[in-house]
């Protein structure tokens, strides 16, 4: 058993979806190092067996359950398999996420639907499977991976934005429903862009090569945040340098933030190299199971420049909004 103070003294049973690559793979390894018992889920068995073998090298007891989170029956079977193997579930992490980049009308309707089914309905399926178990035990932690996209809109990714805004609302409503159970926690995680293979795996309907904007978060940082939430659950956690500035800017001037983001994205795509249109991993298991996307190591000057533009734009938006609010604030009348 691990002596790491971040985890409880007993080995927690953790169900982790989206475990075969990126943040999920990093999370599985972080929990394995700290003595957790793991139930790993994703659509493809090959990727799951690979990460399970790595986790077992740290002495972790691992169960692999291939699962498509858009199928409520499969998600219920995942919960039952975890309870059947370990007797209970302590933590359920909804980590699956997919996306498509492209103008709304250029992106097929079935792609929009698939994103909503995966990012929103998939998380709801996970919660629906585990919440009765948590309620019966009067304890448990549900962690929903949302992203900064739950607070700020992403032009050229409208379905992704809809799914994340919806997921934030769902998470807050469910947390309120479970408020009578002080030892049942519903946690929301809001990272900024993370250096995972997600941009490579995701759908691309732009016809241009895609790069995530800097600065990028190391997926292992998000994994350690998962571990910390097991010990110290909090309702909302953001990670990434621009997370709070972006949320503040959107709260003060949402239309300006959206139009600025659109301008940056449109300019970036205009100068990007051509690329094939692809549905990515929307309708099939991910091919490739790395933790990192490799964008931080590439050190492209254009990516760094775009990140600097984004940070500057966010700061400018916040400043303009604050000035506007100050100008609109009613001034006290002078007494005659």
299-316: per-residue pLDDT in tens? Answer: 444 444 444 445 545 554
Whether residue 3 is contained in a domain is answered as: no
As a whole number of angstroms, the distance between CA 249 and CA 188 comes to 20
Domain that holds residue 242: 13-328
190 classed as catalytic: no
Contacts (Cβ under 8 Å, ≥6 apart) of 237:
187, 188, 189, 190, 225, 229
How does pLDDT run along the chain (336 residues), one tens digit per residue?
Answer: 334 444 444 799 999 999 999 999 999 999 999 999 999 999 999 999 999 999 999 999 999 999 999 999 999 999 999 999 999 999 999 999 999 999 999 999 999 999 999 999 999 999 999 999 999 999 999 999 999 999 999 999 999 999 999 999 999 999 999 999 999 999 999 999 999 998 889 999 999 999 888 889 999 999 999 999 999 999 999 999 888 888 898 899 999 999 999 999 999 999 999 999 999 999 999 888 999 999 986 544 444 444 444 554 555 455 445 444 544 555 555 444
Q: For the range 158-161, what are the long-range contacts, defined as Cβ-Cβ under 8 Å and sequence gap of 24 or more?
A: 158/104, 158/107, 158/112, 159/99, 159/100, 159/107, 159/111, 159/112, 159/113, 159/115, 159/116, 160/99, 160/100, 160/115, 160/119
Reported in sequence order, the residue ranges of the chain that DSSP labels E, i.e. its strands, are 13-17, 37-41, 62-64, 91-94, 100-101, 140-145, 184-191, 203-204, 236-239
Chain centroid to CA 166: how far? Answer: 13
Q: Give Cα separations from 294 to 27, 225, 302, 310, 326 (angstroms).
A: 18, 21, 15, 20, 43
Q: Is 298 helix (H, G, I), strand (E, B) or coil?
A: helix
Q: Is 310 helix (H, G, I), strand (E, B) or coil?
A: helix
Whether residue 335 is contained in a domain is answered as: no
As a whole number of angstroms, the distance between CA 138 and CA 211 comes to 44
**Active-site residue among 160, 190, 205, 295?**
160
Whether residue 289 is contained in a domain is answered as: yes
Structure tokens at 240: 């990434």
Residues in the chain: 336
Whether residue 5 is contained in a domain is answered as: no
Structure tokens at 30: 């972080």
pTM for the predicted model, two decimal places: 0.87
pLDDT for res 296: 84
Whether residue 7 is contained in a domain is answered as: no
Whether residue 336 is contained in a domain is answered as: no
Contacts (Cβ under 8 Å, ≥6 apart) of 288:
21, 197, 200, 201
As a whole number of angstroms, the distance between CA 318 and CA 277 comes to 36
DSSP letter string, 167-194: HHHHHHHHHHHTTT-TTEEEEEEEE--B
CATH number of the structural domain spanning residue 115: 3.40.50.720
In what order do the strands lie in the sheet containing 37-41? 62-64, 37-41, 13-17, 91-94, 140-145, 184-191, 236-239
* 70: enclosing H helix or E strand: none
pLDDT for res 242: 87
120-139: per-residue pLDDT in tens? Answer: 999 999 999 999 999 999 99
pLDDT for res 2: 39
Q: Is 5 helix (H, G, I), strand (E, B) or coil?
A: coil
- Domains identified in the chain, total number: 1
Q: Do residues 313 and 267 make contact, with C-beta atoms less than 8 angstroms apart?
A: no
pLDDT for res 213: 85
pLDDT for res 199: 83
pLDDT for res 329: 52
Chain centroid to CA 57: how far? Answer: 27
**Total Cβ atoms within 10 A of residue 204:** 21
The angle subtended at Cα 171 by Cα 169 and Cα 99, nearest 5°, is 75
pLDDT for res 84: 98
Chain centroid to CA 10: how far? Answer: 27
Whether residue 333 is contained in a domain is answered as: no
């Amino acid at each position: 058993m691990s002596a790491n103070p971040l985890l409880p003294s007993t080995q927690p049973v953790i169900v982790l979806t989206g475990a075969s690559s990126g943040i999920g793979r990093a999370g599985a390894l972080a929990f394995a190092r700290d003595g957790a018992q793991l139930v790993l889920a994703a659509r493809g068995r090959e990727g799951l067996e690979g990460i399970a073998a790595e986790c077992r090298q740290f002495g972790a007891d691992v169960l692999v359950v291939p699962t498509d989170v858009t199928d409520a029956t499969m998600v219920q079977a995942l919960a039952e398999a975890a309870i059947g193997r370990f007797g209970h579930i302590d933590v359920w992490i909804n980590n699956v996420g997919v996306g498509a980049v492209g103008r709304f009308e250029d992106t097929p309707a079935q792609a929009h639907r698939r994103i909503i089914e995966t990012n929103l309905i998939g998380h709801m399926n996970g919660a629906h499977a585990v919440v009765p178990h948590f309620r019966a035990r009067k304890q448990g932690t549900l962690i929903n991976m949302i992203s900064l996209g739950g607070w700020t809109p992403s032009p050229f990714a409208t379905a992704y934005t809809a799914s994340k805004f919806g997921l934030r609302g769902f998470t807050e409503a469910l947390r309120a429903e479970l408020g009578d159970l002080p030892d049942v926690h519903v946690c929301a995680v809001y990272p900024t862009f993370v250096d995972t293979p997600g941009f490579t795996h995701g759908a691309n309907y732009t016809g241009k090569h895609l790069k995530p904007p800097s600065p990028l978060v190391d997926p292992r940082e998000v994994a350690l945040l998962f571990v910390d939430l097991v010990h110290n659950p909090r309702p909302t956690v953001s990670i990434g340098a621009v997370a709070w500035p972006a949320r503040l800017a959107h709260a003060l001037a949402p239309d300006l933030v959206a139009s600025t983001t659109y301008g940056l994205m449109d300019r970036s795509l205009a100068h990007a190299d051509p690329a094939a249109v692809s549905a990515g991993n929307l309708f099939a298991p991910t091919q490739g199971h790395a933790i990192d996307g490799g964008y931080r190591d590439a050190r492209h000057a254009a990516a760094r420049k775009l990140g600097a533009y984004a940070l500057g734009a966010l700061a400018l938006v916040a400043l303009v909004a604050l000035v506007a609010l100050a100008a609109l604030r009613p001034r006290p009348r002078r007494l005659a």
